[in-house]
A and B are shown apart, each in its own frame.
Chain A
Amino acid sequence: MSSVLPSEADEPGPTLTRDSVAHLAHLARLELTDAELDLYVDQLSVILHSVAAVSGVVGTKDIEPTSHAVPLTNIFREDVVRPGLSRDAALAGAPSAENGRFRVPQVLGEEQ
């Protein structure tokens, strides 16, 4: 079925190593188990190989990128105070709160 996607089977194409997936997961603050890393390296390589064709399609052609389907710019509103959530409502879903504030784990580690 994957033949429906353009592929670059004859070209070397991008590859993902186990280390690069681990690095990307770290950048995304996503803890992965060894089993997950093993699984995702293969799956992501297949996906990436299929989607990488886009760079070949456009090549160096001068095409204006489309960021949004129906672009709108300069959306303004009156500079007036609008009601927001009360403090209690904002804290109601917090995993931990203390003295009317969000309680978070230490932001700097020991060594920092």
Chain B
Amino acid sequence: MTAELTRLGASALAEAIASGQSSAEEVTRAHLDRIEAVDEAVHAFLHVSTESALDQARAVDRARALGDAPVSRLAGVPLALKDIVVQAGVPATAGSKILEGWIPPYDATVTRRLVEAGVVILGKTNLDEFAMGSSTENSAYGPTRNPWDLSRIPGGSGGGSAAALAAFEAPLAIGTDTGGSIRQPAAVTGTVGTKPTYGGVSRYGVIALASSLDQVGPCARTVLDTALLHEVIAGHDPLDSTSIPQPVPLVVDAVRRGQADGVAGMRIGVVSQLRGKGYQAGVLESFDAAVATLAAAGADIVEVDCPHFEYALAAYYLILPSECSSNLARFDAMRYGLRVGDDGTASAEEVMSRTRGAGFGAEVKRRIILGTYALSAGYYDAYYGSAQKVRTLIKQDFEKAFTAADVLVSPASPVTAFAIGEKVNDPLAMYLNDLATIPGSLAGIPAMSVPSGIASDTGLPVGLQIMGPALGEERIYRVAAAFESAYVAAHHRSVPDAAPELEVGVR
């Protein structure tokens, strides 16, 4: 029975708990048992909060016993929290040695909203250090492995959250997306993940990477579960000055509409620039099949041209290092985190320099140096300034495209999961994994990845990216739900349900 509980989605679990068919404690224990059984192999979690998770679950059960209505549509459902979002009293590392052992003294707004909604936080998931990477290999605590093939990467930076879903360790997860860190891991693990409109979810209590790009978002194995989580975490927060003062989009209704009415009459744009060179054959094949599915479901397919997307990656790798070099200046060995070389004679500056040298990994150091260069006197206009202008051109490409189409689609990742170690010594090759997701990040629009199928050349999952205009979350969820329904109808099961069982033997 407990093994079956981990195969259920969040909405089914919430119903089982609300009806008394299962207790929240039973559901939480089933997932903690699954983590204990498979996480040595997967390494999705950096910390498992067994006691506080069980406490949270028991509180949900007590409220039900008293006759209280569930506090949310996800009350009692377990979740995996990316270890860049802080939770009071629970270690937070951001995947870095510089924060090893740090216990945050406060909750992120997202954490608070989850707890208030009765969502049970199982623990903190692995990520590339400070969310810089596309494979989790940049984590100072070792890589996460893809449940579809343990010798392969689960994407990044949110590889831990995505792998936790694909390994049935949790039905819900939180990710953060700066250039694709929710969508690319979702694509390569066969799960669902959404990057909301920039400012759609509060970043208070989220360790900053690039402040003009970072966004928190929901992840799950189905579009409906992702939408349910989206509504719990989204909405205006006065503690984040970039938070949009708008009502939470009604994405759950949009999912129901997509399931019932499909995409009839919707215009779906295929971006010419987001296919072809650099994209794996099996990915393109799955993408073309997905477009055909949407067309068969009644959508008008149009081709759209976004000529400046060609320069998106270049602009991104100037903007991101610039902003991260500034944001990571806060890790100075004075108020929290690691301190190295404080021998009584070294100056504060020397201690700072030694600590940062010892505490940061290679990719973080590369980006800090690049950002310091791009922001330095004499180069600012040529690099950071120009990159911001390219960003304007990309935004304009999107604006034009959205006059011709309601949503845009592309592959979410140019390739399926690659082998651990394959790209680790070639930073530029690693950056190309975010080819399809970066334009949407620069424009700040909502975008999600939903599994489009299994690649015929590698046997690994492929993600379909669906992008909408700013605040257009309802449209992308509708299309995602319609596609998912059509896929399940044709294949008799969803992509995540085809993930390997991860035989763990008798315990």
Tell whether, in the assembled complex, residue A1 and residue B429 are in contact, meaning their CB atoms are under 8 Å apart. Answer: yes
Tell whether, in the assembled complex, residue B313 and residue A5 are in contact, meaning their CB atoms are under 8 Å apart. Answer: yes
Tell whether, in the assembled complex, residue A85 and residue B392 are in contact, meaning their CB atoms are under 8 Å apart. Answer: no
**In the complex, which of the residues A32, A102, A104, A108 contacts B357, with contact meaning CB atoms closer than 8 Å?**
A32
A27–B371 Cα distance when bound, in Å, is 11
Given contacts A1-B432, A58-B389, A104-B348, contact A53 B372 (CB under 8 A): no
Tell whether, in the assembled complex, residue A93 and residue B336 are in contact, meaning their CB atoms are under 8 Å apart. Answer: yes
Q: Does any Cβ of B come within 8 Å of A31's Cβ?
A: yes
Given contacts A36-B365, A55-B386, A68-B212, contact A30 B392 (CB under 8 A): no
Q: Does any Cβ of B come within 8 Å of A105's Cβ?
A: yes
Given the complex, which residues of A lie within 8 Å of B493, measured CB to CB? none
A38–B412 Cα distance when bound, in Å, is 35
Tell whether, in the assembled complex, residue B356 and residue A50 are in contact, meaning their CB atoms are under 8 Å apart. Answer: no
Given the complex, which residues of A lie within 8 Å of B212, measured CB to CB? 67-69
Given contacts A16-B373, A28-B325, contact A93 B335 (CB under 8 A): yes
Given the complex, which residues of B lie within 8 Å of A43, measured CB to CB? 366, 427
1/0 per residue, CB under 8 A from B, across A1-16: the answer is 1111110000000001
Tell whether, in the assembled complex, residue B346 and residue A105 are in contact, meaning their CB atoms are under 8 Å apart. Answer: yes
Tell whether, in the assembled complex, residue A44 and residue B370 are in contact, meaning their CB atoms are under 8 Å apart. Answer: yes
> Of all chain B residues, which has the CB nearest A26?
B353
**In the complex, which of the residues B198, B339, B356, B427 contacts A95, with contact meaning CB atoms closer than 8 Å?**
B339
Tell whether, in the assembled complex, residue A2 and residue B429 are in contact, meaning their CB atoms are under 8 Å apart. Answer: yes
1/0 per residue, CB under 8 A from B, across A77-108: the answer is 10000000100011011111000001011111
Name A residues whose Cβ lies closer than 8 Å to a Cβ of B.
Answer: 1-6, 16, 20-21, 24-33, 36, 39-40, 43-44, 46-48, 50-55, 57-58, 61, 63-70, 72, 75, 77, 85, 89-90, 92-96, 102, 104-109
User: What would 8 A/B residue contacts be, using CB atoms closer than 8 Å?
Assistant: A4-B435, A27-B372, A36-B365, A47-B427, A93-B336, A94-B335, A95-B342, A106-B347
Could you list 20 further interchain pairs (A-B, Cβ under 8 angstroms) beyond the known A30-B368, A68-B212, A68-B444?
Answer: A3-B277, A5-B432, A26-B353, A28-B372, A30-B360, A31-B358, A36-B365, A40-B369, A43-B366, A47-B431, A51-B313, A51-B318, A52-B314, A54-B318, A54-B386, A66-B389, A66-B395, A66-B442, A69-B212, A93-B105
